[in-house]
Structures are given as structure tokens and as C-alpha cells.
Amino acid sequence: MVKRKLKIDFVKVAGDPEMKVTRVAICSGSGSSLMQAFLSSKAQVYISGDIHYHDAREAESVDRAIIDIGHFPSEHLMIDALAQQLKNIFAKSGNDVEITACTIEKDPFRIM
């Protein structure tokens, strides 16, 4: 479902893929820095990018799960939302500013 909703080709998963999930923690970019916050939370699954190997093992050891969608996809999905938010802010302030989301950036990594 995550791949389909985010329109990405792959995810890395650690933990039980059949786990019942009622709460999810999310971090864009590199999520390993917030692993302790995830583990202290009530979330069963953490969706982020760039999760370290040992963080995934720690999540498994406490019956939690990780879905690593990759660094680029986890940040890139915010581009359109951020552009729209900036458009709204400038429009409300009366400034005539054109905001255009960048569409040329690509993930530097390829799956081979």
C-alpha cells in the first residue's frame, strides 16, 4: 500500500509484514536520528528514509516495524505540498510571487 500511495517502485521493510497497525510514525529524509522517539511512541510502524541496519534490528527486537522508502522519495513527496503552502502564504500577504515546484531533480540512486 505504501508503494502504491507514494508511487514508488520499492521499499525496504524490517519487522512482521503481517503486523496489525493502528499507529504510524513518519519522518521525511533520514529517519535514524528519530528512532528513539519512534521506539518511545505508541506507533507500531515507522516510515522514513535512510534507516540504519542496527536501528532496523532494534525495531524488530521490540516487535515494531520499519518501512524505509528511501531518502529522496521521503523528501520529494513534500515538494508539491510545500509549493502550494508557499503560494497561499504569498497570496495572503498580497505579494505577487510565482512559486513553481522543481520537477527536474531526480534520485541519484538507481536500483539495478
Q: What is the spatial distance between Cα 90 and Cα 18, in angstroms, rounded to a whole number?
A: 45
Residue 95 has pLDDT above 90, yes or no: no
Q: What is the pLDDT of residues 47-83, one digit of tens each?
A: 999 999 999 999 999 999 999 999 999 988 889 899 9
Residue 94, amino acid: G
Domain ranges of the chain: 2-71
- Tens digit of each residue's pLDDT (9 = 90 or more) over 1-55: 899 999 898 999 999 989 999 999 999 999 999 999 999 999 999 999 999 999 9
Give dist(CA 58, CA 7) in Å, integer.
Answer: 28
Topology of domain 2-71, CATH:
3.40.1390
The whole-model pTM stands at 0.83
pLDDT of residue 16: 94
Q: What is the 3-state secondary structure (H, E, C) of 41-64?
A: CCCCEEEEECCCHHHHHHHHHCCC
Main-chain phi, psi angles of 54, to 5 degrees: -70, -30
7: left (phi over 0), alpha (psi -120 to 50) or beta: left
